[in-house]
Amino acid sequence: MTKISIIGAGSAFTREIAMDILLIEGLEGGTIALVDIDERRLELARRLVLQIVERTRKTWEVIASTDRREVIGGSQFVINQIEVGGLETVRYEYEIPLKYGVKQCIGDTLGPGGLFKTLRTLPSWMEIVRDIEALCPDCIILNYTNPMSAVTLLTSRITDIPVVGLCHSIQNTSAQLAEYAGVPYEEMSWKAGGINHMSWFVELSHSGRDLYPVLLEKIQNPELLRQDPVRFDAMKYLGAFVSESSGHFSEYIPYYRKRQSLIDQHCSTGYNGATGFYADNWPIWRRENDEQIVSQLEGKEPIELKSSNEYAAIIIEAVTKNEPKVIYGNVPNRGLIENLQADGVVEVACLVDGKGVQPCRFGRLPEHLAALCRSNMAFFDLAVEAVRRSDWEMARRALMLDPLTAAVCSLEEIGSMFDELYEAEQGFVPVLK
């Protein structure tokens, strides 16, 4: 019987992923094990998944525990969705860098916020991986936790258990591009590769016609340009569209947030780049998600039986039924993209079947795009190794390599910012030497 463990089950992802799993045709039963250290949110997740099981009329058993060692044994799939100390630290990670002129929109992948999220998350995840090795060593790890590249990179360096990092940026962006270009999604062809949140659509066509000239013409319309301002502007100069939202992407490169006039010009509201967007809204989204689950459990809101575009259930179906599927996953590079670090993590197309997740060779990225990816990969490498070695100086230097922080601050200022963040987050980050 299939057994799937979800660690960090209080996450908003659980609703969609559980629904997707329970809607897999022909997979009628098994065990879903839910783990979270927050008893209240774990109970909400357990009751919600039980309701979905009942609605789908399948025979899945749902078990839950705050102690993962009690329930994950024998899992074929372990889904990671943990969030470590984010609610308590989100203001520090926005407001302290702001004092130094670093104006973040999201701050969960790169930059000061991404670095300290890495420092908070990886020690707990390392302990979880050791338990996975002991209790379900034959599983596949499906990671949803950000920073995606850092978590997946660490995993690949501390265990031989296969891991794939799963995002929704390729699915979402490819659908957006079809809409922007005015072509049917199912008829559009593309080739994408790079790293998480910075994969590049190096080929984009419809019925053999290159869609980039079409997009360049269409963004002469200011209304369309305003829909995705950073990504469209970058496309004009870099020649390819990137996989993550304008707000996210604006933080990973040095061009758009280093002075207020550029932010005013290119970064508008919400996910298009609003300063402080995540810090101001994430605690609200978290509370609203819990409130919606309660409303659904009380019958005040419907639970709609509808699949999402997340990849976890697609992988589970392909492996358990040996039915080949293609997903985009974050995996160890090992030559998949020739001009990116061989020991880093890249995002490429992957074939999935009964043999597991099999990444496909991409080749070479255009060199200027590869260089932008490498700047981010160097940051991830230093951050991951800082945690593995408990190395304070290595963590500090990771921030010095961050493209946005380096565009705004001097080395002395970056050092001071790191020290101030490290002091503020005592108790949430590991002791570095």
179's torsion region: left (phi>0), alpha (psi -120 to 50) or beta? Answer: alpha
Tokens describing residue 243: 């996989």
Active site includes 206? no
Residue 26: CB partners within 8 Å, gap ≥ 6? 321
Residue 390's alpha-carbon distances to 112, 123, 131, 385, 394, in angstroms, are 18, 10, 21, 8, 9
Tokens describing residue 310: 């997340």
Helix axes 111-135, 411-424, angle to 10 degrees: 50
What is residue 343's DSSP assignment?
Answer: T
Look-up of token digits 């407001």: 95
Catalytic site residue from 168, 197, 206, 368: 168
> For residue 4, what are the β-bridge partners?
32, 77
The amino acid at 58: K
Residue 188's alpha-carbon distances to 69, 246, 290, 333, 420, in angstroms, are 45, 22, 37, 27, 48
Catalytically active residues are 168
